[in-house]
Structure 1
Amino acid sequence: MRELDEAMARLEALMAGARQAEEAVAEWSARRFTGRADEGRIEATTDALGVLLDLRIHPLSRARLDARRLADAITSAIARAEEAAEAARNALMPGA
């Protein structure tokens, strides 16, 4: 009987750990990540998977940057948001 009790206790501990991991992943999945460029005047927001959800470009950025530099700044802001999402994932699931 003792072996069965120990096995049940280990199983319950595993199930509790799995629930905690599932909750942590759900919380991470719901988060939003922001990256900025051009001194914060361009702001990109992505979800945990890197899907672009919002892009804000200050009028000053539009006025002072030519098309190529504006595109580069937008790309940089998005990349920074994606990097923030990846860093959060790595903190949650090291080695994943």
Structure 2
Amino acid sequence: LLAAAARGERHDRALWTATAAATGAAGNSTALVGTPETVAKALLDYVDIGVTTLLIRGYDPLDDAVGYGRELLPLVRQELAHRAGGGGS
């Protein structure tokens, strides 16, 4: 993680590693940053490479969970349903 952070603050579509560099990669020290659409696409990129479980949380757990449920997760679910032939809802 520190090696990735040393190469730059942003990687792939939305992975931001500046916190890892600042904290010595202690704890949860990376973030996906951007609009809900950008972060949803980034999460789907991980699905595309075989990731089956993701842990997402923010710095304000309750408000962030509400925001994820309202804005982020519906976009991810819609795209996964579309890919599965369900067209999303």
What is the TM-score of this pair, normalised by structure 1? 0.27
TM-score of the pair, normalised by structure 2: 0.29
Between Structure 1 and Structure 2, which shows a larger proportion of helix residues? 1
Return the structure number with greater relative CO, CA threshold 8 A, min gap 6.
1
Greater strand share, structure number: 1
